[in-house]
Amino acid sequence: MDVKNCPRCNRIFIPQGGRRICPVCVKEEEKQFDKVREYLRDNPGAPLLMVIQETGVDEDTILHFIKEGRIEASQMSGASLQCDSCGAPITSGRYCNKCQEDLARDLQRLTGGAKEKTPAREIKNRPKDKMFTADLKE
Ligand SMILES: [Zn+2]
Ligand SMILES: [Zn+2]
């Protein structure tokens, strides 16, 4: 059977539906999420450090919520999230807009969504004449 150690509490559990943490921690995380969300609703734009202090939720967990897109980094101040690809500062998700576009394009290419035709013009316009004159000069 496929078992995993929970990265939060080290309990052994069977990952279901792509879960990265055990069911106990999932519940715990939901509670923490509610706390953070409620705190931010009452204190919009609060500094990240205050949110950590007041809710007792650690920074990693809060940043994780932001990465999942459940909380916007812009809802508090001092929360810094970086693009997984280029390290640019972002406010939600995993990638900045630019890298998201790049990824979407790569994905399209991989799935064959955008089949690029080889431009025939380039082949026709080979600079034969120039090469010829260069040969004559020598
Ligand atoms: Zn756990
Ligand atoms: Zn980026």
CA 135 to ligand 2 center in whole angstroms: 48
The contacts of residue 43 (CB under 8 Å, 6+ apart) are 50, 51, 54
Protein residues placing their CB within 5 Å of the ion ligand 1: 6, 8-9, 11, 22, 25
Domain boundaries defined on the chain: 4-116
The CA distances from residue 13 to 5, 20, 27, 60, 65, in Å, are: 6, 10, 14, 21, 22
Protein residues placing their CB within 5 Å of the ion ligand 2: 83, 85-86, 88, 96, 99
Largest Cα–Cα separation, the chain: 82
CA 60 to ligand 1 center in whole angstroms: 15
76 near 63, Cβ under 8 Å? no
- Answer whether residue 51 shows pLDDT above 90: yes
Predicted local confidence at residue 78, as pLDDT: 84
CA 97 to ligand 1 center in whole angstroms: 33
Q: What's the whole-number average pLDDT of the chain?
A: 83
pLDDT in tens, 34-50: 999 999 999 999 999 99
Predicted local confidence at residue 36, as pLDDT: 97
